[in-house]
């Protein structure tokens, strides 16, 4: 068990070092992942302590997955924009995915009392839509230069699928174990190395 913990910590250090080399700004944990001020507004301290402690262990994982998801959306968007210009949405996103996103946006727009996801249509896509867009027959030529190795499309789908499994646990208030966390970290750093090389 101790060996697993050392291995887990070492992989985390390697991932952090790789992110630094890729030009990613380091975070300050206290500022980035927990706000006493927000906790007070949300009445965090009034929730049963066991659930509070459980959720605190997942704050960093949640923040990392959320940041990865938003960075991936940006990567897909900028690639499509470069390929299709202002028609990136109609030419680069498959009909079924586009219709589902537009329906989600229309539905959220009707709820006037709550902020919606924003004006960018990319915000209304599901995480699992991103590899479908990347690997679609019409788009692959624009994304392939970032990959160019055999079975790249399968690797993309597998990478996103692995992260999405953990994402769904976190987004539904679940708790990941150390192996799941390590897997998320390795998939994210592999992806970043690939697209930022």
Could you tell me the residue ranges of all domains in the chain? 2-196
Instruction: Count Cβ neighbours within 10 Å for each residue of 149-180 and write b for 16 or more, e otherwise.
Output: eeebbebbeebbebbbebbebbeeeeebeeeb
How much is the pLDDT for 70?
A: 93
How much is the pLDDT for 56?
A: 78
Kindly report each contact of residues 142-145 with a partner whose C-beta sits within 8 Å and lies 24 or more positions away, as own/partner.
Answer: 142/79, 142/80, 142/82, 142/83, 143/79
How much is the pLDDT for 46?
A: 87
- pLDDT tens over the chain, length 197 residues: 444 444 544 555 555 555 555 555 555 544 456 778 888 888 888 888 888 877 877 888 998 999 999 999 999 999 999 999 999 999 999 999 999 999 999 988 888 888 777 778 999 999 999 999 999 999 999 999 999 889 999 999 999 999 999 999 998 989 999 999 999 999 999 999 999 97
Rounded distance between C-alpha atoms, residue 197 and residue 190, angstroms: 11
How much is the pLDDT for 167?
A: 95
How much is the pLDDT for 1?
A: 43
How much is the pLDDT for 74?
A: 95
Tell which residue, 93, 69, 85, 87, has the closest CA to residue 167.
69
How much is the pLDDT for 58?
A: 86
How much is the pLDDT for 11?
A: 52
């Amino acid at each position: 068990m101790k060996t697993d913990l050392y291995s887990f910590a070492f992989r985390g250090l390697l991932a952090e070092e790789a992110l630094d080399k890729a030009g990613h700004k380091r975070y300050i944990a206290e500022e980035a992942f927990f706000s006493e001020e927000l906790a007070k507004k949300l009445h965090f301290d009034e929730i049963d302590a066991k659930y509070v402690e459980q959720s605190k262990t997942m704050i960093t994982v949640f923040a990392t997955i959320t940041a990865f998801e938003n960075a991936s959306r940006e990567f897909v968007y900028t690639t499509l924009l470069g390929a299709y210009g202002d028609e990136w949405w109609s030419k680069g996103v498959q009909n079924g995915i586009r219709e589902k996103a537009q329906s989600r946006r229309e539905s959220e727009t009707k709820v006037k009392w709550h902020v919606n996801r924003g004006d960018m249509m990319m915000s209304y896509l599901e995480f699992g839509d991103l590899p479908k867009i990347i690997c679609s027959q019409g788009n692959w030529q624009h994304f392939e230069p970032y990959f160019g190795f055999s079975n790249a499309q399968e690797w993309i789908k597998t990478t996103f699928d692995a992260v999405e499994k953990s994402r769904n646990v976190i987004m539904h208030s679940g708790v990941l174990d150390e192996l799941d966390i390590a897997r998320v970290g390795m998939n994210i750093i592999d992806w970043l190395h690939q697209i930022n090389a």
